C-alpha cells in the first residue's frame, strides 16, 4: 500500500475528491491511504498564523518556516520515512514518467503552498523535491496535489479494473493515445473508422499506432 501525507492549509478541499471514482475505490480496497494534515495545527502562534510579509518588501505573504519544520518533525516522530515533495511552479515538471516513479514508493509527503510561496529556508533546510504540475500559477498547491495523487493512484496494482489500462493510456510510452469510439457506429453523419469494426486485430494495432504517432506529432513536440 502507498501512503501519501498531504500538508495543507485547506484539508477540506480534498473531501469530495478522495471519495470519488477510482481513488475512492482504491482507498476502500486498501491500495492507497491519503492522510491530510492541517499546517495551522503546527503553528506556535495563538491565532494559528502560518504566514508573514517578505523581507525586502513586495506583494503578498510567505509561508513561515517554523510550522513546516514542526509538521515534518512531527510526522517523522510518528514514523514517516519517504520522499518529500514541495509543490511550486519553479519545480521539476510532473509527468507520466515521474508518476510511474512515485507509484513505486511506499510513502510520500506533499506540501501545498499558498500566498506568494515559501520562505526559502524551508527548501534550504529540508530535503524537498520541488515539483510543478505545469507552467501556470494556481491559487494554492491543493489542485496540484490532487493531480499527483490521482495520476499515481491509477498506476498502482489493482487500482484499475483492467491491469492493462495504464499501459495503453496517453504518455505511457511517450505518445498520446489514439482516438477511440463506441456505439452507435453511425452518429450524426460521423462514422467509426472501418478498420475498427473489421475484426483484423493486426490492422487495428497498426492503425492505432499510426494514429498515436500522428496525434503526438501534431499536438506535442517529438518524444
| Contact yes or no for 67/115 (Cβ under 8 A) | no
Q: 2-154 belongs to which CATH class?
A: alpha beta
pLDDT band at 133; cut points 50, 70, 90: very high
Tell me the average pLDDT of the chain.
93
- Residue 101's nearest CA partner among 148, 170, 164 is 148
Mean local confidence (pLDDT), 11-38: 96
Per the document, the length of the chain is 223
pLDDT tops 60 at residue 96 = yes
| Contact yes or no for 119/63 (Cβ under 8 A) | yes
Mean local confidence (pLDDT), 120-134: 95
What grid cell was written down for 28?
A: 476502500
pLDDT band at 223; cut points 50, 70, 90: very low
pLDDT tops 80 at residue 222 = no
Per CATH, which fold does 173-219 belong to? 1.10.1270
pLDDT band at 173; cut points 50, 70, 90: confident
Break the chain into its structural domains and give their ranges.
Answer: 2-154, 173-219
- Residue 14's nearest CA partner among 3, 6, 4, 2 is 6
- Residue 19's nearest CA partner among 4, 7, 34, 3 is 34
Give me the pLDDT at residue 174, please. 77
CB atoms within 10 A of CB 141: 28
Decide: helix, strand or coil at residue 28: helix
CB atoms within 10 A of CB 70: 15
| Contact yes or no for 26/57 (Cβ under 8 A) | no
| Contact yes or no for 105/83 (Cβ under 8 A) | yes
Amino acid at each position: 500500500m502507498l501512503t501519501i501525507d498531504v500538508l495543507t492549509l485547506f484539508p477540506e478541499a480534498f473531501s469530495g475528491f478522495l471519495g470519488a471514482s477510482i481513488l475512492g475505490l482504491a482507498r476502500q480496497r486498501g491500495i492507497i491511504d491519503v492522510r491530510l494534515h492541517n499546517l495551522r495545527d503546527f503553528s506556535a502562534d495563538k491565532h494559528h498564523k502560518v504566514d508573514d510579509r517578505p523581507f525586502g518588501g513586495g506583494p503578498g505573504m510567505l509561508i513561515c518556516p517554523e510550522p513546516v519544520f514542526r509538521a515534518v518533525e512531527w510526522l517523522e516522530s510518528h514514523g514517516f520515512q519517504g520522499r518529500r515533495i514541495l509543490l511550486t511552479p519553479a519545480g521539476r515538471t510532473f509527468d507520466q514518467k515521474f508518476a510511474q516513479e512515485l507509484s513505486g514508493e511506499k510513502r510520500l509527503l506533499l506540501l501545498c503552498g499558498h500566498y506568494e510561496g515559501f520562505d526559502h529556508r524551508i527548501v534550504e533546510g529540508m530535503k524537498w523535491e520541488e515539483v510543478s504540475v505545469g507552467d501556470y500559477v494556481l491559487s494554492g498547491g491543493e489542485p496540484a496535489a490532487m493531480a499527483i495523487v490521482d495520476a499515481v493512484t491509477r498506476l498502482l496494482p489493482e487500482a484499475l479494473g483492467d491491469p492493462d489500462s495504464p499501459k495503453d493510456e496517453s504518455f505511457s510510452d511517450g505518445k498520446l493515445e489514439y482516438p477511440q469510439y463506441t456505439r452507435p457506429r453511425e452518429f450524426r453523419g460521423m462514422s467509426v473508422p472501418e478498420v475498427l469494426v473489421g475484426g483484423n486485430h493486426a490492422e487495428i494495432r497498426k492503425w492505432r499506432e499510426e494514429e498515436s504517432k500522428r496525434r503526438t506529432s501534431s499536438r506535442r513536440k517529438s518524444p
